[in-house]
């Protein structure tokens, strides 16, 4: 009991200034009586890969199954419902309910530690799950569950320090989103895993089906790219052979700033972005996560009703991370749009005449920029990045 | 495409007779062009431990956090709602909604492969998640999500064979339950992991808050114990040093029968059991999973409104598994009530005069026995097993 209180006091200390990641001190393991070398990110050995099953593998597996299903069940069991049933491929499932025109909008996500601060990791995981709801224009979440796997390689001490901090971060983020965490599941696993489930029960006018893009729309992105590059570069500070590959293009100070900008960005909710989608008549959106900007843009394009394509001209990237990505050769594929992001921004199709106002409004409300990064053309439901996209360097806030 | 068709044909072959596990042939890796030595259960190295974080560790972590929360937030944010908010500790979360007296009943669960047949593993995982809803007397699930982690140690070939089979099993079980799987998350992980999320939106009279046990009630169990013992014993057939410990008390044939009985039992839905809870005025229930019969009985007892205790006299166990457990010393703690179960039965508090009719009705509808295993006495909200409980040997069906 008093021990738990100690852990939480330490968490409070780090929260100097009240939760704003910019003001947050770096996580200090020794303040929690852990070894100075403790790194949460070492409890998952992804070796630079993203944690997701590759998109093409997944769609092959899933589509084989879906086809088989439709061939097997002759009854059109999805066709008798008034509200369209949205399934695999988009950010959320939308399920019509038995009760008065309501539907369930639901999503789940989980992944491995990407930052070393357990409290921030909890916040990021929560923001990342909620982001799928926000991408559908849903602004209120009715319930969250937490999914947690504790690493088998953690000592009992490490576990007792880290898990309450992760849980607290997750819950604080849920609180900020106006929702609560009422349950979940905890298991042991070689890799530490964290994620959750977010559910909303709402009227059909509360969500925006992301299939209404028209020629002439523009594409807005609400957070900078480069989170994966930043968290990797930050880990390399301790690894001379890695660091040598990038030290000609960045200083340690640059990387620390980028890392804090990334943590800040990943833990920021896309909730205001979702609210403004209604105000400015968005035609659809997706959130940028494991499959990178282009991967998610392509999925969104493929789901459009009209014959449109997305063309991306600008890439807003956390300052210096484009240079780091280039110095690493093809490893991240950041400028090709394939670098995984965690809890990235919303990519939104907006009427051209509304987009600037959208960006101005979000900046006024939150103090963060959004960018017009591309256009919607006539086309065959694909997405691409132009040959030499303009990289917009997004500085860390001071 | 044609490759996927092959995989699914193989699945059909094994489904000779139409999905009944008793008739199902053992999974043959070579029929899927995999090495004969392929074993799904080897993709998680639990070494006989349960996969859950120990119950006492978990409650310590969670309760520390809960206490801190209530101390910190002075506002009684849970108190203004008409429907009781049920949180961590019980099988489901029940969340009152903004819409006309409805609530969201939701649960999640995931774990590691415990049987070698991927299709059956998918079915078991689905039945196991749904079981939490059924324990609350909820009989209709509105939506499911699938949570899947593909082992990093699987070859591409193994992955392409196993994942569609798991998915199909999961979906078939969902279909049997009258619900659908509309999304989920897939990641790579050292251990293969499978689970899901089940959600229902319902009126308060559709679920049974499990806190109404009264002195004089009896305890009914709807599936036999011993699933963990059976799946372990089955793995030991291939491991002479392990097999030698139990071969004096069981034959290989006994173990194979017990394993099939266990698979059958784990993949069976607790849906009829849930429906009959309403008919026979159940006072509350829980489902038996990772913390064993006594662990879950204790949690259920602790949540009662009245000053009652549960006393368990009878232990229905899959035939021969009590002997196997004894031959393994204290490893499983089966007769002490601590052996983990997967997708176990419901433990239900029923009025004494209704219990026999409940058991008769479930047997009539499903062809499976249920047992009166204990009584509700006056007490301090605890549960115990008597000193020398009667072991009921539950044979495999022919």
Do residue B93 and residue A182 have CB atoms under 8 angstroms apart? Answer: yes
Contacts of B138 (CB under 8 A, 6+ apart): B92, B105, B200, B202, B206, B207, B274
| Contact residues on chain B for A147, CB-CB shorter than 8 A | 108, 110, 147
Please, what's the largest Cα pairwise distance for chain A? 64
Please tell me the predicted confidence (pLDDT) of residue B20: 46
| Contact residues on chain B for A108, CB-CB shorter than 8 A | 145, 147, 183-185, 197
Do residue A182 and residue B60 have CB atoms under 8 angstroms apart? Answer: no
Spatial distance between the Cα atoms of B321 and B298, rounded to a whole number of angstroms: 23
Q: Which of B47, B152, B298 is nearest to A188 (CA)?
A: B47
Please tell me the predicted confidence (pLDDT) of residue A57: 60
Please tell me the predicted confidence (pLDDT) of residue A41: 80
Spatial distance between the Cα atoms of B137 and A291, rounded to a whole number of angstroms: 40
Tokens at residue A178, please? 């106006």
A51 counts as catalytic:
yes
| Contact residues on chain B for A71, CB-CB shorter than 8 A | none
Do residue B187 and residue A53 have CB atoms under 8 angstroms apart? Answer: yes
**Alpha-carbon Rg for chain A in angstroms:** 21
Percent of chain A topping pLDDT 90: 62
Mutate to test the interface with A, among B62, B70, B89, B95 (most CBs of A within 10 A): B95
Residues 66-95 of B with CB under 8 A from A: 67-69, 77, 85-88, 92-93, 95
Spatial distance between the Cα atoms of A65 and B170, rounded to a whole number of angstroms: 12
CA dihedral B134, A203, A365, A230 (to 10 degrees): 50
Spatial distance between the Cα atoms of A117 and A123, rounded to a whole number of angstroms: 10
Q: Cα dist. A185→A5, A122, A145, A249, B61 in Å?
A: 23, 15, 8, 43, 13
Spatial distance between the Cα atoms of B171 and B96, rounded to a whole number of angstroms: 28
Do residue A100 and residue B100 have CB atoms under 8 angstroms apart? Answer: yes
| Cβ contacts from A onto B, under 8 A | 193
Do residue B100 and residue A98 have CB atoms under 8 angstroms apart? Answer: no
Q: Cα dist. A47→A247, A331, A343, B38 in Å?
A: 20, 11, 20, 26
Please tell me the predicted confidence (pLDDT) of residue A286: 96
Do residue A5 and residue B160 have CB atoms under 8 angstroms apart? Answer: no
B62 touches chain A (CB under 8 A): yes
Task: Please give the distance of CA A101 from its chain centroid, rounded to a whole number.
Answer: 30
| Contact residues on chain A for B110, CB-CB shorter than 8 A | 147, 185, 187
Query: Across the interface, which of B53, B86, B182 has its CB nearest the CB of A187?
Result: B53
DSSP state for residue B88 in the 8-state scheme? B
Spatial distance between the Cα atoms of A135 and A173, rounded to a whole number of angstroms: 17
Query: Across the interface, which of B5, B93, B99 has its CB nearest the CB of A143?
Result: B93
Give every strand in the sheet of A371-378, ordered side by side: A284-287, A346-350, A218-221, A371-378, A308-318, A383-394
**Alpha-carbon Rg for chain B in angstroms:** 21
Please tell me the predicted confidence (pLDDT) of residue B14: 43
Task: Read off the pLDDT of each residue in A216-232 and give the average, rounded to a whole number.
Answer: 96
Please, what's the largest Cα pairwise distance for chain B? 64
In three-state secondary structure terms, B210 is coil
- Tell me how crowded residue A37 is: count the other CB atoms within 10 A of its CB: 9
Do residue B147 and residue A108 have CB atoms under 8 angstroms apart? Answer: yes
Q: Which of B118, B117, B143 is nearest to B129 (CA)?
A: B143
Q: Collect the ranges in chain B with pLDDT lower than 70.
A: 1-24, 45-90, 397-398
> Could you give all domains of chain B from N- to C-terminal order, each with its CATH number?
38-200 (3.30.1330.10), 215-392 (3.90.650.10)
Q: Which residue in chain A is spatially nearest to B142 when comparing CA positions?
A: A97
pLDDT over threshold 70, residue A54: no
Distance from CA of A185 to the nearest CA of B (A): 6
Mutate to test the interface with B, among A8, A53, A70, A340 (most CBs of B within 10 A): A53
Spatial distance between the Cα atoms of B340 and B338, rounded to a whole number of angstroms: 6
Of B51, B103, B126, B349, the active-site residue reads B51
| Contact residues on chain B for A160, CB-CB shorter than 8 A | 61
Q: What is the mean pLDDT of chain A?
A: 84
Q: Cα dist. B357→B221, B223, B272, B353 in Å?
A: 14, 17, 14, 8
Query: What is the value of pTM for the model shown?
Result: 0.80
B97 touches chain A (CB under 8 A): yes
Do residue A107 and residue B8 have CB atoms under 8 angstroms apart? Answer: no
A25 touches chain B (CB under 8 A): no
A108 touches chain B (CB under 8 A): yes
The residue whose two tokens read 């020398």 is B388
Query: In sequence order, which ranges of B225-316 are alpha helices (DSSP H)?
Result: 227-236, 240-246, 252-267, 271-279, 292-302
Tokens at residue A147, please? 């999914």
For A245, counting Cβ atoms within 10 Å of its Cβ (0-12 exposed, 13-18 middle, 19+ buried), the class is: middle
Q: Which of A381, A380, A370, A386 is nearest to A335 (CA)?
A: A386
Task: Tell me the ipTM for this assembly.
Answer: 0.73
Spatial distance between the Cα atoms of A391 and A318, rounded to a whole number of angstroms: 10
Residues 171-200 of B with CB under 8 A from A: 171, 180, 182-191, 193, 195, 197, 199
Q: Which of B41, B29, B157 is nearest to A61 (CA)?
A: B157
Render pLDDT for A365-380 as a digit per residue (tens, 0 to 9): 999 999 999 999 999 9
pLDDT over threshold 50, residue A16: no
Spatial distance between the Cα atoms of A118 and A127, rounded to a whole number of angstroms: 14
Mutate to test the interface with A, among B7, B18, B65, B76 (most CBs of A within 10 A): B65
Contacts of A253 (CB under 8 A, 6+ apart): none
Distance from CA of B52 to the nearest CA of A (A): 4
- What's the angle, vertex CA B71, arms to CA B66 and CA B74, rounded to 5? 115
Please tell me the predicted confidence (pLDDT) of residue B53: 58
- Of residues A396 and B115, the one with the higher pLDDT is B115
**Buried residues in A172-197 as b, exposed as e (16+ CB within 10 A):** bbbebbebbbbbbbbbbbbbbbbbbb
Are A287 and A134 in contact by the 8 Å Cβ rule? The answer is yes
Percent of chain A topping pLDDT 70: 82
B4 touches chain A (CB under 8 A): yes
Please tell me the predicted confidence (pLDDT) of residue B32: 84
Tokens at residue A166, please? 């992760």
- Of residues A62 and A109, the one with the higher pLDDT is A109
Do residue B185 and residue A108 have CB atoms under 8 angstroms apart? Answer: yes
Positive/negative CA dihedral, B32, B50, B277, B362: positive
């Amino acid at each position: 009991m008093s021990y738990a209180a100690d852990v939480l006091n330490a968490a409070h200390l780090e929260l100097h200034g009240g939760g704003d990641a910019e003001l947050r001190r770096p996580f200090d393991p020794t303040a929690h009586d852990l070894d100075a070398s403790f790194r949460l990110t070492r409890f998952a050995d992804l070796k630079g890969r993203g944690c997701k099953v590759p998109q093409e593998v997944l769609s092959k597996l899933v589509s084989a199954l879906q086809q088989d299903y439709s061939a097997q069940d002759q009854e059109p069991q999805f066709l008798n419902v008034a509200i369209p049933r949205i399934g695999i491929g988009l950010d959320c499932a939308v399920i019509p309910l038995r009760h008065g025109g309501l539907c369930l909008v639901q999503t789940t996500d989980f992944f491995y530690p990407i930052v070393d601060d357990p409290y921030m990791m909890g916040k990021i995981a929560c923001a990342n799950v909620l982001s799928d709801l926000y991408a559908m224009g849903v602004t209120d979440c009715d319930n969250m569950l937490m999914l947690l796997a504790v690493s088998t390689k953690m000592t009992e001490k490490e576990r007792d320090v880290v898990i309450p901090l992760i849980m607290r971060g997750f819950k604080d983020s849920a609180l900020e989103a106006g929702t609560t965490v009422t349950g979940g599941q905890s298991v042991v696993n070689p890799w530490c895993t964290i994620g959750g489930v977010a559910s909303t029960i709402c009227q059909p006018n509360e969500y925006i089906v992301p299939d209404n893009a028209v020629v002439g729309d523009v594409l807005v992105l609400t957070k900078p790219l480069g989170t994966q590059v930043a968290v990797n570069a930050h880990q390399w500070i301790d690894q001379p052979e890695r660091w040598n590959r990038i030290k000609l293009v960045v200083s340690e100070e640059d990387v620390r700033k980028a890392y804090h900008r990334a943590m800040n960005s990943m833990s920021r909710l896309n909730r205001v972005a979702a609210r403004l989608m209604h105000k400015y008549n968005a035609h659809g959106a997706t959130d940028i996560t494991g499959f990178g900007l282009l991967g998610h843009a392509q999925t969104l394009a493929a789901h459009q009703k009209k014959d449109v394509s997305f063309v991306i001209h600008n890439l807003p990237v956390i300052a210096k991370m484009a240079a780091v990505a280039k110095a690493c050769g093809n490893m991240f594929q950041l400028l090709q749009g394939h670098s995984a992001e965690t809890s990235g921004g919303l990519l939104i199709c907006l009427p051209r005449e509304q987009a600037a106002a959208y960006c101005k409004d979000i900046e006024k409300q939150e103090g963060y920029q959004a960018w017009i990064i591309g256009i919607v053309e006539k086309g065959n439901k694909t997405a691409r990045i132009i040959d030499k996209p303009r990289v917009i360097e997004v500085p860390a806030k001071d």
